[in-house]
């Protein structure tokens, strides 16, 4: 897959042209792909101004990785930036290779400026669209790219072979340095500044100042079936996604195939991907591809701008000199259109009957939500600029996750280093309350901690993720590292084991790596703990992970080498 900046060949428009990929040519099966990723500051101009942003190899978005199921990736990362960095391969199972997973201070210490580290892992039984991103502070605002996994040689998609394919990366852009934005929020305790634009493949599009000349154009011919691989790489915002006048048939989500279903709008939380087929069955012309915030929290500031790209039929009439042909604009849901988000989630199902774990060994119930820390008297007021002189925080089961700073949790576990984490993360909330009701102010302040929950190898886990209305209810995209899971049910209000169990789909639930837990509601997921290591589970809204909406599972080794974590690579960075 390559992105070319070129003159549009058939009319004489300047534009950023996105050429569709053909599948990689390979001789051997499986293959090992070697890449050098240099993390560096690069000047990039957006919204009329040039900024030095952190990129990989000077590209924004970063390079697209293309592999087949069964292949191995070896990525040599060199840090030439002034920040600590790590990279995460979002959605890759990393069977026994937790050392390559990437979240800083969870599976590795950061790659410090001037340092390097080689990530080495094999794709085992996964196909579809994933992505990679920095997993250190807010660097992923600009350090991200697509990771596309094609079927093994000789095997094919379980749907009509598309004529063309293109990744669509939705991102978020700040006029300021994103690291300064999060540092300001952390210092003051207030909510961070919202972004100034969203981007599609790095470009804001026609509706922003100084951007129309670079709007991404996706050229198509009439009568084709094409595959769009949509990735929400935004930092803090769930997004609706639509293409004017074209229906989309969803065929995969988070690199798991789905039963095809047709919709005019997608909703993706940060971290989620959705593959859709679109038929170019409309009159030749130009059609906007657009995204818009799905903002489920009330009374919170958000970026309400609209990024666009253009789906352009090559046979569309060329505009006459001096006349511009305005692309067709799509209908977009309202910002707070929870019914549309819910209908989209309900449409996702596995292609056929799947093997959902039934005899559950670990029945877990975690609350997920925000909170406020009361400021100790000695704190200066400048550090307490949250609501009514507090500081924002967030937690799972009332524990606000704190990263260690002198060892990664995985290293501490593997080397038996004490004092880095504890294993007392609670299986159920320490206090039961009406999670989605009017929660007493006395319950709003969580306890900071670096707590993990231990799982025996092979245990069958059911986890209820229960949103809370503390401070403000909100849809939280919860991501688990190292695992895919089945989403067996979702609902609003408080999960009720007496009545809601009857709603479980144990036949064809969707499999994902990130679940958008409904606002003021809950989701129930199931998985088998078959991958030893330390696996972060967190909200993929980066400000929420910054505030502590995270925990980690520590999955013990099973029996024998094939059920055990590999030894750490020799070049694992020290703290």
Ligand X SMILES: *[C@@H]1O[C@H](CO)[C@@H](O)[C@H](O)[C@H]1NC(C)=O
> To the nearest whole angstrom, how small is the minimum distance from the Cβ of residue 404 to ligand X?
5
- Would you say 18 or 541 has its CB closer to Cu ion? 541
Site for Cu ion in 397-426 (CB under 5 A): none
> To the nearest whole angstrom, how small is the minimum distance from the Cβ of residue 369 to Cu ion?
8
476 binds, among ligand X, Cu ion, none (CB under 5 to 8 A by kind): Cu ion
Residues 284, 311, 4: CA angle, nearest 5 degrees: 125
**88: buried, middle or exposed (CB in 10 Å: 19+, 13-18, 0-12)?**
buried
| Binding flag, residue 213, ligand X (CB under 6 A) | no
> To the nearest whole angstrom, how small is the minimum distance from the Cβ of residue 35 to ligand X?
23
Using CB under 5 A, which of 68, 345, 544, 553 touches Cu ion? Answer: 544
Site for ligand X in 151-210 (CB under 6 A): 176, 180-181, 184, 193, 208-209
| Binding flag, residue 26, ligand X (CB under 6 A) | no
How far, CA to CA in Å, does 309 sit from each of 5, 171, 236?
14, 13, 21
| Binding flag, residue 479, Cu ion (CB under 5 A) | no
Q: Output the CA torsion sign for 10, 64, 48, 285.
A: positive
Using CB under 5 A, which of 541, 552, 554, 555 touches Cu ion? Answer: 541
Alpha carbons 283 and 14: distance in angstroms, whole number: 23
Give percent helix, percent strand, percent coil of the chain, each to the nearest 5.
10, 40, 50
| Binding flag, residue 77, Cu ion (CB under 5 A) | no
109 binds, among ligand X, Cu ion, none (CB under 5 to 8 A by kind): ligand X
- Would you say 255 or 368 has its CB closer to Cu ion? 368
| Binding flag, residue 28, ligand X (CB under 6 A) | no
Asked if 71 and 30 touch (Cβ cutoff 8 Å), the reply is yes
- Would you say 97 or 468 has its CB closer to Cu ion? 468
3-state secondary structure of 186: helix
Tokens of 68: 């087949």
User: Would you state the torsion angle of the CA atoms of residues 173, 146, 251, 20, taken in this order, to the nearest 10 degrees?
Assistant: 100
Residues 353, 160, 32: CA angle, nearest 5 degrees: 85
3-state secondary structure of 387: helix
Alpha carbons 42 and 478: distance in angstroms, whole number: 31
The contact mask relative to Cu ion for 491-530 (x = CB under 5 A, - = no) is ----------------------------------------
| Binding flag, residue 277, ligand X (CB under 6 A) | no
> To the nearest whole angstrom, how small is the minimum distance from the Cβ of residue 394 to Cu ion?
7
Asked if 140 and 173 touch (Cβ cutoff 8 Å), the reply is no
> To the nearest whole angstrom, how small is the minimum distance from the Cβ of residue 448 to ligand X?
10
> To the nearest whole angstrom, how small is the minimum distance from the Cβ of residue 524 to Cu ion?
18
- Would you say 204 or 518 has its CB closer to ligand X? 204
84 binds, among Cu ion, ligand X, none (CB under 5 to 8 A by kind): ligand X
User: Would you state the torsion angle of the CA atoms of residues 466, 454, 395, 138, taken in this order, to the nearest 10 degrees?
Assistant: -110
Phi, psi of 521 (to 5 degrees): -145, -160
3-state secondary structure of 215: coil
Question: Residue with structure tokens 């039929």?
Answer: 313
Radius of gyration of the chain (CA): 23
Asked if 238 and 250 touch (Cβ cutoff 8 Å), the reply is no
Question: Residue 61, preceding bond cis, omega within 30 degrees?
Answer: yes
> To the nearest whole angstrom, how small is the minimum distance from the Cβ of residue 490 to ligand X?
22
| Binding flag, residue 374, ligand X (CB under 6 A) | no
> To the nearest whole angstrom, how small is the minimum distance from the Cβ of residue 168 to Cu ion?
23
Torsional class of 398: left (φ above 0), alpha (ψ -120 to 50), beta (otherwise): left
544 binds, among Cu ion, ligand X, none (CB under 5 to 8 A by kind): Cu ion
| Binding flag, residue 38, ligand X (CB under 6 A) | no
Alpha carbons 526 and 461: distance in angstroms, whole number: 6
| # residues contacting ligand X (CB under 6 A) | 30
3-state secondary structure of 419: coil
Question: How many Cα atoms occupy the beta-carbon half-sphere of 166 within 13 Å?
Answer: 24
| Binding flag, residue 448, ligand X (CB under 6 A) | no
Using CB under 5 A, which of 148, 524, 539, 552 touches Cu ion? Answer: 539
- Would you say 212 or 443 has its CB closer to ligand X? 443
| Binding flag, residue 138, ligand X (CB under 6 A) | no
Site for ligand X in 403-442 (CB under 6 A): 404-406, 417, 419-420, 430-431, 438, 440, 442
Alpha carbons 233 and 85: distance in angstroms, whole number: 17
Asked if 422 and 449 touch (Cβ cutoff 8 Å), the reply is yes
| # residues contacting Cu ion (CB under 5 A) | 4
Asked if 55 and 142 touch (Cβ cutoff 8 Å), the reply is yes
Beta-bridged to residue 14, according to DSSP, are 7
Q: Of 49-57, 72-80, 334-342, 537-545, which part binds Cu ion (CB under 5 A)?
A: 537-545
- Would you say 210 or 318 has its CB closer to ligand X? 210
- Would you say 39 or 511 has its CB closer to ligand X? 39
176 binds, among Cu ion, ligand X, none (CB under 5 to 8 A by kind): ligand X
Tokens of 65: 């990785």
> To the nearest whole angstrom, how small is the minimum distance from the Cβ of residue 251 to ligand X?
35
208 binds, among ligand X, Cu ion, none (CB under 5 to 8 A by kind): ligand X
Q: Of 109-117, 145-153, 156-164, 479-487, which part binds ligand X (CB under 6 A)?
A: 109-117
How far, CA to CA in Å, does 21 sit from each of 163, 327, 379, 501, 554?
10, 24, 55, 44, 39
Q: Of 37-45, 93-101, 206-214, 475-483, which part binds Cu ion (CB under 5 A)?
A: 475-483
541 binds, among ligand X, Cu ion, none (CB under 5 to 8 A by kind): Cu ion
- Would you say 349 or 451 has its CB closer to ligand X? 451
3-state secondary structure of 178: helix
Give the footprint of ligand X on this chain (CB under 6 A): 84, 109-110, 112, 176, 180-181, 184, 193, 208-209, 387-388, 398, 404-406, 417, 419-420, 430-431, 438, 440, 442-443, 445-447, 575
Give the footprint of Cu ion on this chain (CB under 5 A): 476, 539, 541, 544
């Amino acid at each position: 897959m390559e992105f070319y900046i070129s003159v549009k060949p058939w009319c004489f428009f300047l534009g950023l042209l996105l050429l569709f990929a053909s599948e990689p040519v390979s001789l051997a099966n499986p293959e090992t792909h070697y890449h050098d990723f240099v993390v560096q500051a690069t000047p990039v101009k957006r919204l009329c101004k040039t900024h030095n942003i952190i990129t990989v190899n000077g590209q924004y978005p970063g390079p697209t990785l293309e592999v087949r199921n069964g292949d191995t990736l070896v990525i040599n990362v060199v840090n030439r930036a002034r920040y600590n960095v790590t990279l995460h391969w979002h959605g890759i199972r990393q069977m026994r290779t937790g050392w390559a997973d990437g979240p800083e201070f969870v599976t590795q210490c950061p790659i410090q400026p001037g340092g390097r580290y080689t990530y080495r892992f094999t794709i085992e039984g996964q196909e579809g669209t994933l992505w990679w991103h920095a997993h250190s502070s807010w660097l992923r605002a600009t350090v991200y790219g697509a990771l596309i996994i094609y079927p093994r040689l000789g095997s094919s998609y379980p749907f009509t072979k598309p004529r063309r394919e293109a990744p669509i990366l939705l991102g978020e852009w700040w006029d300021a340095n994103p690291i300064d934005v999060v540092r300001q929020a952390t210092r003051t305790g207030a909510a961070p500044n919202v972004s100034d634009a969203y981007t599609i493949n790095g470009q804001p599009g026609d509706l922003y100042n100084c951007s129309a000349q670079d709007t991404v154009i996706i050229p198509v011919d009439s009568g084709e079936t094409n595959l769009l691989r949509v990735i929400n790489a935004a930092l803090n915002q769930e997004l609706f996604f639509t293409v004017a006048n074209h229906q989309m048939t969803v065929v995969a989500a988070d690199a798991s195939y789905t039963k095809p279903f047709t919709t005019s709008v997608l909703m993706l939380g940060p971290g989620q991907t959705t593959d859709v087929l679109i038929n170019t069955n409309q009159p030749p012309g130009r059609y906007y591809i657009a995204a818009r915030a799905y903002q489920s929290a009330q009374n919170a500031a958000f970026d309400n701008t609209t990024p666009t790209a253009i789906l352009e039929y090559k046979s569309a009439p060329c505009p006459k000199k001096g006349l511009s042909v305005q692309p067709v604009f799509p209908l977009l849901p309202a910002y707070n259109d929870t019914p549309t988000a819910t209908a989209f989630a309900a449409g996702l199902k596995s292609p056929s009957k799947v093997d959902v774990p039934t005899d559950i060994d670990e029945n877990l119930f975690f609350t997920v939500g925000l909170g406020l820390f009361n400021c100790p008297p000695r704190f200066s007021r400048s550090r307490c600029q949250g609501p009514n002189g507090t500081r924002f925080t967030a937690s799972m089961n009332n524990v606000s996750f704190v990263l260690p700073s002198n060892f990664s949790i995985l290293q501490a576990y593997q080397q038996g280093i004490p004092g880095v984490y504890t294993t007392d993360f609670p299986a159920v909330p320490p206090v039961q309350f009406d999670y989605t009701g009017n929660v007493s102010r006395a319950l709003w302040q969580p306890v900071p901690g670096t707590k993990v929950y231990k799982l025996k190898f092979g245990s069958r886990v059911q986890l209820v993720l229960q949103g809370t209305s503390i401070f403000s209810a909100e849809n939280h995209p919860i991501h688990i590292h190292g695992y895919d899971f089945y989403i067996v049910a979702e609902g609003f209000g408080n999960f009720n084991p007496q009545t809601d169990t009857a709603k479980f789909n144990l036949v064809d639930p969707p499999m994902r790596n990130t679940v958008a837990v409904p606002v003021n509601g809950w989701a129930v997921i199931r998985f088998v703990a078959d991958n030893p290591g330390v696996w972060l589970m967190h909200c993929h809204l980066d400000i929420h992970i910054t505030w502590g909406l995270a925990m980690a599972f520590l999955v013990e080794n099973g029996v024998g080498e094939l059920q055990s974590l590999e030894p750490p690579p020799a070049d694992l960075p020290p703290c």
